[in-house]
Amino acid sequence: MIAKTPETPYYAVIFTTLRTDVDKGYLEMAEKMETLAKEQPGYLGIESARNDVGITVSYWRDLESIKTWKHQIDHAKARDLGRELWYAQYQLRICKVERDYGFNK
Amino acid sequence: MIAKTPETPYYAVIFTTLRTDVDKGYLEMAEKMETLAKEQPGYLGIESARNDVGITVSYWRDLESIKTWKHQIDHAKARDLGRELWYAQYQLRICKVERDYGFNK
């Protein structure tokens, strides 16, 4: 789904990943983290797709919300496992969304 | 591939889409636009994935580069066709990338 975000400005975290061939526990953890993210203060929405590369964009009210989510303990543990097992490479980008435009047929 | 972007700050355009069931001309145009984007001044890289939702993130040096690309004539024509034929819904977000972090096994 396309996230229903409020008026700008708000924040986006673009998480682009290349996976290893280790699948054990990955899907369960990805779902668990998405559920957990939705419970965090300042969470606005998420969009995700994967082919060769995976892109997950989560949207947040402000930098403080992103920082709180970064330090959430289960999320920190998942991140350690991610580096150990599931991700060969990733890039995480923290962005201020300055403008947006929608189209709906 | 994960885009190799320079030190922050730079800009990202997050283009999230839901497709119609019209495929005619879509893939050719998507490839043509990606090739054309790469020739634009200030272009830094692109990442793309699609499942139910499609996410394409293009990276740019500054807002001026994004504006020039927005008004590029073949791109403007492709956008009109996109709204007419290929996209049921989309959201385009213009973002300033303030910080980024990489991991590479």
The pair phi, psi for residue B44, each rounded to 5°, is -115, -25
CA A30, CA A21: separation in Å to the nearest integer? Answer: 15
- Radius of gyration over every alpha carbon of chain B, rounded to an integer in angstroms: 14
Tell me the mean pLDDT in the region B77-85.
Answer: 97
pLDDT > 90? residue B105: no
Give me the residue from A92, A96, A103 closest to B87, CB to CB. A103
Closest-CA residue to B16 (of A47, A96, A38, A78): A47
For residue A49, give every residue at least 6 positions away whose Cβ sits within 8 Å of its Cβ, in sequence order, or none: A55, B49, B50, B51, B52, B53, B54, B55
Residues 6+ apart with CB under 8 A from B77: none
Which residues in chain B have their CB less than 8 angstroms from residue A22's CB? none
Note the pLDDT tens digit of each residue in B2-61.
999 999 999 999 999 999 999 999 999 999 999 999 999 999 999 999 999 999 999 999
Q: What is the ipTM of this complex?
A: 0.96
Distance, CA of A75 to CA of B92 (rounded, Å): 28
Q: What domains can be seen in chain B, in order of their start residue?
A: 10-97 (3.30.70.100)
The shortest CB-CB distance from A98 to any of B18, B96, B104 is to B96
What's the pTM?
A: 0.97
Mean pLDDT of B68-82: 97
